[in-house]
Amino acid sequence: MRRVYMDHNATTPVHPEVLEAMMPFFREHFGNASSIHWAGREVRQYLDEAREKVAALLHASPEEVIFTGCGTESDNMAIKGVAFALREKGRHIITTQVEHHAVLHTCQFLEKVGFRVTYLPVDGEGMIDLEELRRAITKETILITIMFANNETGTIFPVREIGKMAREKGVTFHTDAVQAVGKVPVDLQQLPIDLLSLSGHKLYAPKGIGAQYIRKGIRVTSLIHGGAQERNWRAGTENIPYIIGLGKASEMALRDLPKRRAYLAGLRDRLYQGLTERIPHMKLNGHATQRLPNTLNLSFLYIEGESLLLNLDLEDIAVSSGSACTSGSLDPSHVLLAMGIPPEIAQSSIRFSLGWNNSEEDVDYVIEVLPRIVQRLRDISPLYNKRMGTLK
C-alpha cells in the first residue's frame, strides 16, 4: 500500500542533502564555536556561512540573524523581548485571534504581567481588516505581532501594509513567518518588517532549530542570559550541526523556491479539483487567492474531522485536523472559530499540507480513497440523510 504524508505544516522530513551537510558536524567538526583554537575556529567559519545562507533567503544581512532553538522560542524572544525593552514607552500589544499558540500564549502571559493585548478578529477568509488595525493602535502601542501566513488555512496576511502602518505610527512590527519562509518569497529589503521568526523543521531542516531576524536598530531585551553567543541575544553553545542544516535548507529554499511554489500549487489545485468533483457538501477554509501554495483546509460537512483523520490513517494517509500542537484536543480549531465558522463545521475540517516529496500519484491516491471514506462516515452520520442524499 502507498504511504502518503500530507502534513508538512506540522513538520517536514529532513532533506537528504541537509542531512548530508550536517553529518561532518557530528563527527570531525565537533568544536565549540567560541573556542579560539583550530577546532573552534573552523566551526566558527561554518557557523558564519550558515548565517549568511539564512540571511540570503530573507534578503537580510547576516548580523540581523540570530539562531534559536525553534519557532516557538523565536516568537517568545521577539514578543517578550520587545515588550520588556519598550515597557517604559507603553504596554499595549496588537495581535490577531488566529495566531499560533506560540504567539497567543506568549501574549496571554504578558497580559498577566501588566500588558494589554488587542486580539484582532478576522473575516470569513481568515483575513484582518487593516482599518480595524489602524483604529486599534494607540499612543500606548509598542508592538504589532501578526503572522505572515496561517498554519491551518494558509491565509497570507498583508504584511507589507501592516508594516507600513506600524512604521507610520512608530510601532515595532513582528511577524511569525514559520509557515511562510521557504514557501513564498520573503524579502526583507522590500518588506517593512522589524522582527521575523522562522523554524527549521518547516523547511526540511531538523526539529529544534529556529532563527530570529532582528532589523538593525530594533530594541529587544534578551531572554536567555549566560555566555556571549549570538552577540548576547541568545546565550548557550551554538547547536552547530542543526545550524548547518538550517543553512543548507535555506540555501536550497532560495534556489528552488519558484520551482517548489509552482509544483506545490499544482498539486494542491489538483487535489482540490479532484475532491470537489467527487465529494458534495465540502467547503474550502481560508483565502481563495492569498493562500500558501501547499495548504488546503477543507470542511466535510456532517462528519467529524477526527474520524476522517483516523480513517485516512488506516489507509496510510497522514493529514491533520488543525495544528499539530492542538491535536489530541477535541475542541474545534480557534482559527476556524475566529473565522465565524460554526463549531460543527470547524470540527469537520481537515488540513492537507503538501511538500516537495509529494507526487501526483499521492494526490490521486487521496482523491481515490477519501470520497469512499466520506461517504461511509456520512452513511452512519445521524446528521446526514442517506436515503435522500440531502440534509435533514
Would you please indicate which residues are annotated as catalytic (active-site) residues? 325
Q: How far apart are CA 342 and CA 329, in angstroms?
A: 17
Cα–Cα distance for residue pair 122/129, rounded to 1 Å: 7
Tell me the per-residue interface mask from 181 to 210 with ligand PLP, x by CB under 6 A, - otherwise. ------------------x-x--------x
Site string for ligand PLP, 102-121 (x = CB under 6 A): x-------------------
147 binds ligand PLP (CB under 6 A): yes
Q: Which of 178, 296, 303, 369 binds ligand PLP (CB under 6 A)?
A: 178
Task: Judge contact between 191 and 228, C-beta under 8 A.
Answer: no
- With contact defined as beta carbons under 8 Å apart, do 50 and 39 qualify? no
Q: Which of 118, 163, 171, 176 binds ligand PLP (CB under 6 A)?
A: 176
Count of positions on this chain that bind ligand PLP (CB under 6 A) = 16
Q: Is 179 in the site for ligand PLP (CB under 6 A)?
A: yes
Render 121-173 in DSSP notation, one character per residue. ---TTS---HHHHHHH--TTEEEEE--SB-TTT-BBP-HHHHHHHHHHHT-EE
Other Cβ atoms closer than 10 A to 252 = 22
Cβ–Cβ < 8 Å for 109, 133: no
Which has the closest alpha carbon to 62: 204, 231, 202? 231
The CB-nearest residue to ligand PLP is: 71
Nearer to ligand PLP, 189 or 329 (CB): 329
Q: How far is the CB of 103 from ligand PLP (least distance, A)?
A: 7
Q: How far apart are CA 318 and CA 299, in angstroms?
A: 17
Give the Cα separation of 58 and 61 in Å (integer). 9
- Choose between 155 and 311: whose C-beta lies nearer to ligand PLP: 155
As measured in angstroms, the least distance from the Cβ of 102 to ligand PLP is 4
Binding range to ligand PLP, per CB under 6 A, among 24-32, 59-67, 176-184, 267-275: 176-184
Closer to ligand PLP at the Cβ: 53 or 201?
201
- How many beta carbons lie within 10 A of that of residue 158, not counting itself? 15
From the CB of 57, what's the least distance to ligand PLP, in Å? Answer: 16
Of residues 30 through 89, those in contact with ligand PLP by CB under 6 A are 70-72, 75
Residues that bind ligand PLP (CB under 6 A): 70-72, 75, 100, 102, 147, 151, 176, 178-179, 199, 201, 210, 323-324
